[in-house]
Amino acid sequence: MQMRKTLVVALLAFTMLTQAGCGTLLHPERSGNKGGRIDPAIAILDGIGVLFYVIPGLIAFAVDFSNGTIYLPHSASSANSGKVPSDGYRAVTMDEPVDAGSIERLIEREYSVSGVLHHESLETYPAL
């Protein structure tokens, strides 16, 4: 009886883990990615879930794709390649020393927004 109870608990835990999606559990910081290269490790783990349990494995794939956690994070080199990355960010350069005033002028010039650095929710810390 004890062996059966242990087997049921292990099977239940395995099912719950596969339904959550491997990428969602292993890399929650990737949540929200909209595309890119698929992480082969996460795809293989989700595929193993399909082999053992078809429905939970397919759910794991669906959860990872919908959360975006199956995709590799964007590399820093792609952001600096001179092209606008797919995530919508763009690089700007400054020809003057970096301080609060120059950053404020840059934001005003590039985005036509002023007073950003004086917002009440902004927290600043001295450089180490």
pLDDT band at 82 (very low <50, low <70, confident <90, very high): very low
> Taking the domains of the chain in order of start, what are their residue ranges?
2-67, 92-128
59-78 pLDDT per residue, tens: 888 888 888 888 888 654 44
Helices in the chain by DSSP H: which ranges? 2-20, 22-26, 40-52, 54-67, 76-79, 100-111
- What pTM was estimated for this model as a whole? 0.46
Distance from C-alpha of 58 to C-alpha of 29, rounded to nearest angstrom: 22
What SS3 class is residue 71?
strand
- Positive or negative, the CA dihedral 40, 42, 46, 52 is positive
